[in-house]
Amino acid sequence: AEFVGPHKVVSTLAELLDQFDEEIEYAFGPTPMYSLSKAALIAATHAYSNLDPMAEKVLINAVCPGDVLTDMLTEEQRDEALSPWEASLDVASLILDPPRGETEGDTPLTGKFFRNRELAQW
């Protein structure tokens, strides 16, 4: 398999984003471009973390705090959504107490995706 560096991943994702017509709804829901951009961000996070020049000094992770009170939410979603302050706690927790691997002494995780302060699959 050919190694694809992070710059190629990001440029390929940018090309895909450029091909979307904002007037067309490609997926269920009102925000398909937002969903695609988040997937691109997570992929770029993983790709850049693999460069590893300063892996133990700079951690690169993506965070999804869940639904946050924004104009994108429906009225029903707003009832259960987090305030921006509450959502920022997920980011702060990764900064102040970076999660580590399974065993004692493991280095902090990088290139990962977190949701609700837990490691998530994407």
- pLDDT tens, per residue, the chain with 122 residues: 455 566 776 677 677 666 666 555 444 455 667 777 777 888 888 777 777 665 567 788 888 888 888 887 788 888 889 999 999 998 898 888 888 877 666 778 888 888 888 888 76
Residues constituting the chain: 122
CA–CA separation, 21 vs 60, rounded Å? 31
pLDDT (0 to 100) of residue 85: 93
DSSP secondary structure letter of residue 20: -
At 38 the pLDDT is 79
Secondary structure (3-state) at 104: coil
pLDDT of residue 5: 64
Q: What is the pTM of this model?
A: 0.64
In terms of Cβ atoms closer than 10 Å to its own Cβ (0-12, 13-18, 19+), residue 51 is middle
Alpha-carbon span 109 to 38, nearest angstrom:
20
